[in-house]
Structure 1
Amino acid sequence: MVQNAFPVRVPLVTEPMGLWKSLQTARRNVLAILPEIATRQPMVSGKTGKRWHMVMDPDALQHILRERLPDYPKSDVTKNLLRPAIGESLFIAEGAEWMWQRRTAAPSFSHRNMTALAPVMTAAAERAVQRLAANGPKRAINMFDEMVQTTFEVISDVTFSGDDAFDRDGVHDAINNYINTAGKISLPDMLGMPDWVPRLGRITGDRALTEMQKIADSAIDRRRKSGPPKGAPDLLDLLLAGADPESGRTMSTEELRDNLLTFIVAGHETTALSLSWALYLVAGDQERQDKARAEAQVVLQGRCATGDDVPKLPYIRQIIDEALRLYPPAALVSRTALKDDILCGRQVRRKDTVMIPIYALHRNHLLWDQPDSFVPERFANRKDIPRYAYLPFGDGPRICIGASFALQEAVIILASLLSSFRFTPVSGVSPDPVMILTLRPEGGVWVMSEPLPRVH
C-alpha cells in the first residue's frame, strides 16, 4: 500500500456506522471500526447489535483488569474465535480452571528458565543475519516474512527441541490458515449469538486445526515416552514436569497441547510483529537507527546478542517498546460485564460488551505527547508512563505469561540485525496496519538491507 505519512496509522471512524457496515469493515480490519474520538476521550459508548463501551482511562482499566477481574471475563466473541484453535487453555479459561493452569505454568516462565532459553534466540538471530547477508547489498526484503520465519524457529525450538519428527511447516501453515479464514469476525459474532450457530469461515479453518492438533499430540506422546533431550529443558519438558502447587494436578495431553499451541501462536506471531514494525520504524528514521546501531555495536563487537546483553541495550528496548505502543499485536480486546458497574461516571449494565481498544489507548491525546509519532525516548524513564496507559501485554493477574520471553527475544534479534545491517525504506511502499486476530503489516515490511563492516 502506498502511503505518504510516517509512521502509518489506521484511519479511524469519524461518523457512526450501522451494523452491516460495521461487520463489513471489521472483517477487513477490526481496528477500522474504532471511532477517532476514542483517541481523545477516556470512554466512548454506543450500540451496534448490543450495547458496548470502549475504555481508554487508566484508572478504569485498572478497575477492569485487576480490581474487578472476575466481573469482566473475556467476551464470548473472543472465546468463540479462539476456542477451536487453543481449547480451554490459559488464554480462554476463566476462574478456577484458569487459576490452576496459571499456577502450573508460571514456573516454566521464570527468569531463570527464560535466561536458559536465550541461546536458542541467539542462534535464530545468527541464522537471520546469515540469510540477509546472502541476499547481497541493497536488495529489497520483506522483513515481515523474515521475522515470522526467525521467531517461529525460536518458538518451535524452545517448545519441541530435539524432535526431528515435529512438523513445523504443518503447524505454521495451519496457524496462518486459521487466522486468514476462521479468525475473521462474523455476523453471529457481532450479534452475540452462541457458538453452536455456524460460522462459515470455520469450516475451512477446522480442517487445518485438526491436523495441527494431531501433530502436537504426537509430539507430546513421543516426549512422554522418550524423556527430555540433552541440554537445558525446553518448554514442553518444563510443562510436563509442572504441577499445581496447591492441588498437585498435572496437565493432560489435551491440556498440554492447547497451552503449547497457545504459546506457539502467541509466542512467534506477537514477537514477529513487534520486530517487523520496529524495523519499519527505524528504516524510516535513520537518525534513531544510527543511535540504536551505535549502542548495539559497542555492546556486541561483531557478534549476535545474547541474553546477558539484553540489560546493556536500553535504547534497543525503547524502540521495541515504542513499536509495541504504536502497533500493539493484540490491538483490541473485549470483555463482557457480568454485573452492573460504573466506569468513568457512566453506567455499564450486565451483559454489555466492554472493549479495551489498546490501539486507541496507546494513541490517546490525554495520555501521550505526539501520540502518532515515533519517539522511543519516551520510554527512557518508564516511571513517567501511567501503568495502565500502556498495555501491550495486558496487565493484572492475566498479564501475558510470556511477556519477558517476548521482550528478551525481540531485543536479541533487533540488536543483532541493526549491528550488522543498515535498513532503508523501499520508495513509495508502506505497510498497511490491518487487524484480523493480530495487528499485521498487510503488504509486508519492505526495506533495503545493506550489510555493514564487522565492528570488533
Structure 2
Amino acid sequence: MIEILGGCSLLISVFIIFVVYQIYTVLTIAYTRSLYNGIPSPPLDNFLNGHQLTMVAAKKSNTFLDLFGAWCKEYGSSIMVFAGFRNILFTVDPDMFKVVTSDLNSFSKLDDLPNRSLFGQRIAGWNSVLTGGGHNWAIKRKIMSKFFAKANMSEAFEFCKPLMQNYVRSTLAQKVGKGQVLELHEEFSTIFSAYPAAVGLNGFDDPSTIGKNITKILEMIPKQLGKMSLTKILFAMGKEKNETVDMVIAMRTRLKAMSLEKSQEMKSSDSETQPTDIFGLLIQANERCDFQRDLLDEYVVDDILTVYLVMDNMVKQLASLFIFLESHQQVYHKMVEEIRQFTLTDCTSLSQLRYTEKVLLESLRMAPALLRGTRLLKTAGGGPTKIGHYILPSNTQIHFSQYLIHHNEDVWKAPDVLDPERWSGGFNPEPYTYMPFLAGPRGCLGKHFAMMTMKLTLVSLLQKFDFTPRLSKEKKPTIDQGMAVMRIRNNVDYELVPFC
C-alpha cells in the first residue's frame, strides 16, 4: 500500500512539474511577445509555434524569401515574426537598413553564426576581420582596407592576370571540347581559390583542392542549423562529418605552419619595411590587436580561412549569372560581343567594359551573395530603445534581406527581370535599396577586388570559349532561399567550346 501511495505521489509530482513548466512556457512566450504589440505581424500558426510551421514549409518548398516578401507587402515593411521563443523583427525598410548597418554601438553580429565553427571545430573563428566586432575588429579593418582600396587594384591585377591566363592555357584547355560538360560552380571554385595565392597566399594548396574543400565546408554548414533532430544527431555522429572536421583540422594545421614561417620571416627582415601582400598584412593586423600572444597564429589562420570562404561568394555570383543568362541569351551575346572587341591591358582598361559591368551590377541585384543578414540589438542599459518607428527591447534579433529589397516592385521596375540597361545613363539607386556588398561601416572590404576579379574572369574565359547551357530540365539550378549566404541547388552545367 505504501509503495502504491509512493508511486502515486511521484506521478503527481511529475504531473505538477509538467503543468508548472507548461504554464511558465505560455507566460514567458506571452510576455515577450507583448513587448512587440505595436509592430505588425502575420497571423500565427498557433500560439506555441508562432509562425514556425509556415516558415519550415516555405523552406522545404524553397519559397522562404517569397513568403517574407509577401508578408512585408501585406502587413508592412517591418514585421514581427515569432518562432517559439525566438522573436525576430524582419525588415525591408531602407531607413531601417541604414540604422541597423550603420550603428555599430547598438547592433552587433550574432555570436552563433554557423560559418565560425563546424560541430565544435574552429573554421573562421569569432575574431576574424569579417565576423569580429569591437576595437580589435576596427584595427584589423583599418589595416586591411589599405590592401583592398580601389587605388591598390592595379597592383593586385598584375598578379591576378597571369594566373588567370595560365589557368585558361593549361588547366581549362585540357577540359573543353569534344562535348564535355563542365559544372561552372566547380570551375569557378578553382579559379577564385587561386586568386588569394596571386596576392600573397601562395604555397597553401592546389586551387582545385582548396575549392573542393571550401565547397564541402559550406555544404556542411546547413546541417548545423536549426533545432536538434534525429537527422542532425546522426549526421554529427557520421563519417561525413568526421571527414570534414579532419579536413578542416588539416587545413588549419598547414596554414598555421605557414603563418609561423611568415611571421619569422617578417621579424628577421628590415623593421621599416611594411608588408604589402595580404598574408603579411593579416599577420600585422592581428599583432596589433589585444589578443593572447600564444594564439596569434590561430587568429591569422581564422582570417585566411575567412578570405577563402568569402572568395566563394564570387564563385556563386558568377555561377548564378550564368543561370540567368540561360534564359536571357540576348544579354549573353551582347556581353560576349563587347568582351571580344576589347583588349585587356591593365586594370584601368577594365573600365571600358561598360555593358559587362551593367550585367554584373544587375546580377548582383538579382541574386546578391548575401541574401539576408542578421543583427542583434544591444542597448547600453539593457532597456528598450527606439529604432526607426518602433520601441524595441534589448536582445531583439533584426533580420533584413538584400534580396527582397532588390526585388521590391516599389523600388525597382520589373524587379524579377534581368535588365542590364536599367544601369544606363548614370543611374544611381536610392540609398540602402541596393546592397550587394552591404553598406555602412561593415560594408564589404573586398568589393573592388570582387568586381575586378569577376571582370577578369569573364574576359579571360569568354575571349577564348563559347558557353552553351546544358542545364537539367528535371533539376534546374536555382537559388536556395532558405540560407542567408547564397547557395545554388543543382549543377550549373555548361559546355565550353574553343572560340576561333
| Range into which the TM-score falls when normalised by the shorter chain | 0.7 to 0.9
Amino acid at match of 2:478: D
5+ residue gaps, structure 2: 1-41, 270-274
Unaligned runs of 5+ in 1: 1-12, 191-196
Q: Return the alpha-carbon distance in structure 2 between the equivalents of residues 382 and 42 of structure 1.
A: 28
Please say if residues 72 and 79 of structure 2, whose CA atoms lie closer than 8 Å, have aligned partners that are also in contact: no
More displaced 10-residue stretch of structure 1: 336-345 or 55-64: 336-345
The C-alpha deviation readout for 1:85-127, integer Å capped at 9, x for no partner, is 1111122222212212212222222334332121333234324
How many residues align? The count is 424
How far off is 1:386 after superposition?
1.3
1:374 aligns with one of 385, 410, 418 = 418
**2:99 aligned residue (46, 59, 63):** 63
SS in structure 2 at match of 1:389: coil
CA deviation after TM superposition for structure 1 residue 166, in Å: 4.2
In structure 2, distance between residues paired with 1:59 and 1:160: 39
The counterpart of 1:317, out of the listed 357, 377, 394, is 357
Change (3 A) 1:127 1:276: farther
* Structure 2 equivalent of residue 8 of structure 1: none
Deviation track 1:363-383 (CA, whole Å, cap 9, x = no partner) reads: 111211111110112223565
Query: Match for 1:277 among 308, 313, 320?
Result: 320
Tell me, in whole angstroms, the C-alpha distance in 2 between the residues paired with 1:364 and 1:387: 14
Identity of matched residues, %? 18
Distance change >3 Å, CA 27–CA 90, structure 1 → 2:
farther
CA contact (8 A) 1:81 1:185 kept: no
Q: Are the structure 2 counterparts of residues 352 and 358 from structure 1 closer, same or farther at C-alpha, using a change threshold of 3 Å?
A: same
Residues 392-401 or 88-97, more deviating: 88-97
Question: Which residue is equivalent to 2:116?
Answer: 82
Q: 1:101 & 1:287 partners in 2: Cα distance?
A: 44
CA contact (8 A) 1:100 1:244 kept: no
AA paired with 2:91? V
Match of 2:378 among 338, 356, 363: 338
Alignment CA distance shift 1:320-1:299 (3 Å): same
Partner amino acid, structure 1, of 2:477: P
> Residue 450 of structure 1: SS of its match in structure 2?
strand
Q: Does the CA-based 8 Å contact 1:316-1:415 persist in structure 2?
A: no
Q: Is the 8 A contact 1:27 1:185 kept in 2?
A: no
RMSD, aligned CA: 3.6
What letter matches 2:365 in structure 1? R
Is it true that 1:432 corresponds to 2:478 in the alignment?
yes
Q: 1:265-307 CA distances to partner (integer Å, 9 max, x unpaired)? A: 102x01111111222323432222222122212222xxx6742
Distance 2:61 2:195 in 1: 30
Distance 1:325 1:201 in 2: 39
What CA distance in whole angstroms lies between the structure 2 residues aligned with 1:173 and 1:331? Answer: 23
Kept after mapping to 2: 8 A contact 1:117/1:158: yes
Question: In 2, are the aligned partners of 1:89 and 1:258 still within 8 Å (CA)?
Answer: yes
Q: For each residue in 1:336-376, what CA deviation from the matched residue of structure 2 results, as whole angstroms up to 9, or x when unmatched?
A: 12233445534433222100122212111121111111011
Query: Which residue does 1:5 correspond to in 2?
Result: none
Q: 1:413 to 1:330 in 2, by over 3 A?
A: same
The answer for the alignment partner of 1:290 in structure 2 is: 333
C-alpha deviation, 1:310, in angstroms: 1.6
The residue number in structure 2 matching 1:103 is 142
C-alpha distance in 2 between matches for 1:167 and 1:417:
20
Tell me the equivalent position of 2:89: 53
The residue number in structure 2 matching 1:264 is: 308
In 2, Cα distance between equivalents of 1:244 and 1:58 = 38
Measured at CA, do residues 381 and 136 of structure 1 come closer, stay the same or move farther in structure 2, by a change above 3 Å? same
Q: Which moved more, 1:39-48 or 1:286-295?
A: 39-48
After superposition, the C-alpha distances for 1:249-268 in whole angstroms (9 at most, x for unaligned) are: 9993222221121112102x
Alignment-derived partner of residue 91 in structure 1: 130
Q: 2:446 aligns with which of 402, 427, 430?
A: 402
Give the structure 1 partner of residue 6 of structure 2.
Answer: none
1:273–1:440 CA contact under 8 A, matched in 2: yes
- In structure 2, distance between residues paired with 1:174 and 1:333: 25
Report the alpha carbon displacement of residue 224 of structure 1 after superposing the two structures with TM. 2.7
Report the residue type matching 2:439 in the other structure: D
Q: State the shift of 1:155 in Å.
A: 2.2
Alpha-carbon displacement from aligned partner over 1:180-220 (angstroms, at most 9, x marks no partner)? 22444533599xxxxxx9x9489645433322211211111
Higher relative contact order (CA 8 A, sep 6+): 1
Specify the code of the residue in structure 1 equivalent to 2:327. G
Task: State the partner residue of 1:36.
Answer: 69
Name 1:441's counterpart in structure 2. 488
Q: Secondary structure at the match of 1:69?
A: coil
Match of 1:255 in 2: 299
Deviations 1:24-73 (A, max 9, x none): 7658969458423257352232211211122111121111111x232111
Distance 1:93 1:389, change over 3 A: same
Deviation by residue 1:212-250 (Cα, 9 ceiling, x = unmatched):
21121111122234459xxx9531133345588999x99
Distance 2:496 2:214 in 1: 28
Q: Secondary structure at the match of 1:35?
A: helix
CA contact (8 A) 1:38 1:56 kept: no
Q: Which amino acid aligns with 1:285?
A: H
Query: Distance between the aligned counterparts of 1:246 and 1:218, measured in 2?
Result: 21
TM-score (norm 2): 0.74
Equivalent in the alignment of 1:194: none
3-state DSSP class of the match of 2:108?
coil
Report the residue type matching 1:64 in the other structure: V
Question: Residues 244 and 314 of structure 1: is their aligned pair in 2 closer, same or farther, counting only changes over 3 Å?
Answer: farther
Equivalent of residue 361 in structure 1, options 384, 389, 405 = 405
Whether the aligned pair in 2 keeps the contact of 1:177 and 1:208 (CA below 8 Å) is no
Aligned to 2:18: none
> TM-score, normalised to structure 1's length?
0.81
1-side partners of 2:224 and 2:313: how far apart?
Answer: 20
Q: Indicate conservation of the 8 Å contact 1:38/1:360, yes or no.
A: no
Q: 1:295 to 1:14 in 2, by over 3 A?
A: farther
1:212 aligns with 2:251: yes
Q: Which has the larger radius of gyration?
A: 2
Whichever residue aligns with residue 328 of structure 1, its letter is: P
Q: Which moved more, 1:145-154 or 1:111-120?
A: 111-120
Contact 1:333 1:356 (C-alpha < 8 Å) held by counterparts? yes
In the alignment, is the contact (CA less than 8 A) between 1:90 and 1:101 conserved in 2?
yes
Opposite residue 456 of structure 2, the aligned amino acid is I
Alignment of 1:189-228 (within 5 A): 200=236, 204=242, 205-226=244-265
Q: Does 1:393 align with 2:434?
A: no
